[in-house]
Every structure is written in C-alpha cells, then in structure tokens.
Amino acid sequence: MRHQPFGSRGHEVSVIGQGTWYIDRGDRKSAVAALRRGIDLGMTHIDTAEMYGDAEPLVAEAIAGRRDEIFLVSKVLPGNASRRGAIAACERSLARLKTDRLDCYLLHWRGAYPLAETVAAFEQLVSVGKIRGWGVSDFDVDDLDEMLAVAGQGRIACNQVLYHLRERAIEHAVLPWCEQHGVAVVAYSPFGHHDFPQPGSKAGKVLQTIAEAHGASPRQVALAFLTRAPAVFAIPKASTPEHAADNAASGKLALGRDEIAALDDAFPRGPRPRSLPML
Ligand SMILES: NC(=O)c1ccc[n+]([C@@H]2O[C@H](COP(=O)([O-])OP(=O)(O)OC[C@H]3O[C@@H](n4cnc5c(N)ncnc54)[C@H](OP(=O)(O)O)[C@@H]3O)[C@@H](O)[C@H]2O)c1
C-alpha cells in the first residue's frame, strides 16, 4: 500500500482507505471482517461519521486492539457544528468509536453556523488532544477561500469530495486549490456509490482492457486513476473481505501515461459545473 503526506501536516496516510457509509446496514460480521481485512492489507485510513447510523460502533469493533495503526476520521453534522455543539458531537463520536482521539475531524458539509465557531471548536479539540487535525467536506473554492481566511494557512488538513470516473468536476478548481494550499483531497464514492461503469459499455471496455493488461480488476484501475495526483486519497466502502482485498490491491497498481490518457478520453472531465456536485 502506498502512503503519502495527508495535507501539509506531514502525517503519512494510506492512499486507499475504507469508507463506512451504510456499512451497518448489511451483515455485521462480514462488515467487521471486511474492515479488518482491509487494515491487514494496509488500508489503515478509515472514514466514518456521526451521520452513519451504527457505523462508528462497528468501526470500534473492527479497530479494537489496533488503534495505533489507524488514521481515524469522523465528521460532525453541520447542525451540530457550533462552538459547543462540535465539541459535544466529537465526544459522542469518541465514545462510540471507543477511542480517546481522532486523527482528523471533518465538518460534513457547510451549514448555518459561522465557520469561525466551528474552527474555534476544532482548535480547542486539537489543543486538548481529542483530535490531531481537522478538515472539511464538500467545500467549493469560495468556501475554501473563506475557511482559509478564518483558519489561516496550514490548518485545513483535507477536503473530502465526490470524485469518481464519471464525476471529475473537482479537477477544474477544487483539486488545484487544494494542491496549492497543501490540503489533501479525499475522494468519496470513488465507485460512484452504486453506479460503477458497466463492463459492456464503451467506457467500461476501456477500463476492462487496462485492467486485463495489469491482471487487475476494473475497480483497482479506477482507484489508481483517481489517486494519480499525489494530493488525492480514496475511501471506497466494502462490506465483504473479498471486496476489501480487491480494493487494497489497487494500492500497488501504477498506470502508464497512455493508460491515463485512454481513461481521460473514455471518462471525460466535462465542463466546470456551476456548483460542486455532491451526494
Ligand atoms: N463526505 C461525504 O459527504 C461523503 C458522501 C458519500 C460518501 N462518503 C464516504 O465515502 C465512502 C465511499 O463512498 P460510498 O460508500 O458512497 O460508495 P463507493 O465506495 O463509491 O461504492 C460502494 C459500493 O461499491 C461496492 N464495492 C466496493 N468494493 C467493491 C469491489 N471490490 N467489487 C465490487 N463491488 C465493490 C460496495 O459493495 P459492498 O458494500 O457489497 O462491498 C458498494 O455497493 C463512504 O462509505 C463514506 O465513508 C462521504
């Protein structure tokens, strides 16, 4: 598994991590086994959120006894992101995760509370060691500019955004902004949530051909393409150990320049949308 610095704070984090949205909806044993297999194979970056139902307790079970190996991320809902609310929400997440700290704590999306309030809460959590850093999710460049003005350079660890083969809007402005300011980009829904390209489609065939050339799966190729820039991480969600193992293997897949060009062609970036797409 490849590791790279997560934003400008210097932490080395696995490029491919593990998402947990809806992981509590299926077979719990299989979900815990999937996360554990993923960790064994190097996907130590685990993404969860207070919004994800019972995902946090399930993550607690999966990481029990190996917390120090994990880069653990959770998120506060915008409705809880006040000066006091964010601190209380973090403490609830820590209790559900059975840990004393998060490696990164994110504002799940921008809400009504002033950014300065949320930042003050995040910085307090950093100062008492309950979080090691913080970031944002679904922030477009205007939000990022505002957050930078509030928090100062070097404080925003990451921006978690929708990014998959058929949704490349972040490449227009968000990714360059983050690269310029040392902010990690975390690709959520890297398989398009439930919409991975069909193998029979024209673009799906391009993916398949490249996968076959590497003895890899199309999903491994998709993850390698999405993480081709050194600022980008991806957090696919898998509910079975087999899926987790498949995803982890993408961590050692390197695509050639021609293959990247072929994927770029098959899944074009398209024009810049008026607002940042999100799920
Ligand atoms: N910040 C935000 O607002 C936000 C929004 C959305 C998502 N996220 C985060 O990003 C994570 C990933 O996004 P996502 O859950 O929306 O979707 P995703 O990772 O794009 O896709 C998940 C789907 O892919 C399937 N899958 C995974 N690995 C597979 C494999 N190797 N072979 C075949 N199928 C495979 C999963 O099936 P199985 O479950 O059956 O394995 C599931 O149906 C979330 O879990 C969450 O942590 C954040």
Contact 171, 269 (CB under 8 A): yes
Distance (angstroms) between ligand 1 centre and the Cα of 194 equals 8
Distance (angstroms) between ligand 1 centre and the Cα of 186 equals 13
Q: How far apart are the first and last CA of the chain?
A: 28
Q: Report H helices in 48-84.
A: 55-63
Q: Read off the pLDDT of residues 4-38 as tens digits, 9 standing for 90 and up.
A: 999 987 789 999 999 999 999 999 999 999 999 99
Closest atom, ligand 1, to C-alpha of 219:
31
Q: Is the CB of 30 under 6 A from ligand 1?
A: no
**pLDDT value of residue 252:** 86
Atom 31, ligand 1: which residue's CA is nearest?
243
Q: Is the CB of 277 under 6 A from ligand 1?
A: no
Q: Is the CB of 190 under 6 A from ligand 1?
A: yes
Backbone conformation region of residue 154, classed left if phi is above 0, alpha if psi is from -120 to 50, else beta: left
Q: DSSP labels for 129-154? A: TSBS-EEEES--HHHHHHHHHHH-TT
Q: Is the CB of 47 under 6 A from ligand 1?
A: yes
Contact 15, 227 (CB under 8 A): yes
What separation in angstroms does the CA of 111 have from each of 21, 132, 221? 20, 23, 35
Our mutation pick for probing the ligand 1 site, out of 191, 220, 279, counting the most ligand atoms within 8 A of Cβ, is: 191
Q: Read off the pLDDT of residues 95-138 as tens digits, 9 standing for 90 and up.
A: 999 999 999 999 999 999 999 999 999 999 999 999 999 999 99
Q: Is the CB of 188 under 6 A from ligand 1?
A: yes
Cα 243 from chain centre: 17
**pLDDT value of residue 225:** 98
Q: What pTM value is reported for the model?
A: 0.98
Mean of pLDDT over the chain: 97
Q: Is the CB of 137 under 6 A from ligand 1?
A: yes
Q: What is the mean pLDDT of the segment spanning 45-68?
A: 98
Q: Is the CB of 37 under 6 A from ligand 1?
A: no
Output the six-digit token pair for 85: 């609310």
Residue 258 in this model has a pLDDT that exceeds 80: yes
Q: Is the CB of 168 under 6 A from ligand 1?
A: no
| Least confident window among 45-49, 184-188, 192-196, 235-239 | 192-196
